[in-house]
Amino acid sequence: MEKTIDFDTNPPVATTEYDDRARRAIPGYEAMHTMALSFLKFHLPETANLLIVGAGTGMELVKFSNNPQWQLLGVDPSTNMLAIAQQKITQNDLSNRIKLFQGYTHELPETPLYDGATCILVMHFLPDDGSKLALLQSIAQRLKSSAPLILVDICGEKGSREFEKTTAIIKLFWEEMGMQPEQINEGMKTIDKGVYPIAESRTIELLQQAGFGDLVKFYTGLWGGGWVAAKN
Ligand SMILES: C[S@@+](CC[C@H](N)C(=O)[O-])C[C@H]1O[C@@H](n2cnc3c(N)ncnc32)[C@H](O)[C@@H]1O
């Protein structure tokens, strides 16, 4: 049986290589985070408390900390990914504004409520058996009314003609981005066995079921989709 993806025990890519690989593998990775930041700046007050779900190696934490009055909590189950995030926090002297929590969102206390949240490139690792909805609900429970959520995920229905076509294009994109054949194979294996993408219509349905509205799609990167939504 295939092991499910776990960034500590069965990572899709060595955690030390994550930052480079994400920039090559995810179309517009840096620009997508910059767009997310722009939406947050538009929606949030100057002083705000942000919940970063699936903080990983700290991309959002460091990028969003360019706003000196935001406090950030990064949540992630992976010790190895958070260790890299912690190094960046220390190097950038951000320990007073960024805290880390190793674990899951539903394990966080139900207060304080946050002014905004992100969940970037996380939900596709969870199957659509109630786990995706539970993740979104655990975020919704910790947000103030009207608070924005940025959700970015790989989308599409495995087995569909469109998904097969996009996968073939992704492979060519990865070649153009300088990924080596073994890295491409590793990526394709993750797509095949390690992620659970869903149709965009299903993502929207889950967001609405979890208590989010006012959805705006802000990012498309081949199969990647990004939305900003507001907690009802
Ligand atoms: C692909 S990385 C994305 C990291 C970062 N958000 C970025 O944009 O680069 C996915 C991260 O989600 C974390 N993760 C997996 N399942 C999670 C869950 N249920 N809740 C929170 N984080 C989770 C993994 O440990 C990993 O660090």
The pLDDT tens digits of the residues spanning 137-195 come to 999 999 999 999 999 999 999 999 999 999 999 999 999 999 999 999 999 999 999 99
CA dihedral in degrees (53, 54, 56, 62; nearest 10)?
Answer: -20
50 alpha-carbon distance from chain centroid: 14
Looking at residue 1, its pLDDT comes to 40
Distance 14 CA to ligand 1 centre (A): 14
Q: Whose CA is nearest to atom 8 of ligand 1?
A: 120
143, 51 in Cβ contact below 8 A? yes
Angle subtended at Cα 198 by Cα 193 and Cα 201, rounded to the nearest 5 degrees: 175
DSSP state of 2: P
Q: Which residue has the tokens 């920039």?
A: 23
Show Cβ contacts of residue 223 under 8 Å, excluding neighbours closer than 6 positions: 154, 155, 156, 163, 166, 167, 170, 197
Distance 6 CA to ligand 1 centre (A): 9
* Mean pLDDT of the region 59-76: 96
The residue type found at 14 is A
Distance 218 CA to ligand 1 centre (A): 20
Helix extents (H) in 26-140: 29-43, 59-64, 79-91, 131-140
212, 230 in Cβ contact below 8 A? yes
Which top CATH class is 15-231? Answer: alpha beta
- The ligand 1 atom nearest the CA atom of 76: 22
- The ligand 1 atom nearest the CA atom of 12: 1
The residue type found at 4 is T
Tokens at residue 183, please? Answer: 């890295």
Q: Is the pTM of this model over 0.95?
A: yes
Q: Is the CB of 54 under 6 A from ligand 1?
A: yes
Residue 4 confidence class, pLDDT cut points 50, 70, 90: confident
52, 61 in Cβ contact below 8 A? yes
The residue type found at 13 is V
Q: Which residue has the tokens 């992630």?
A: 76
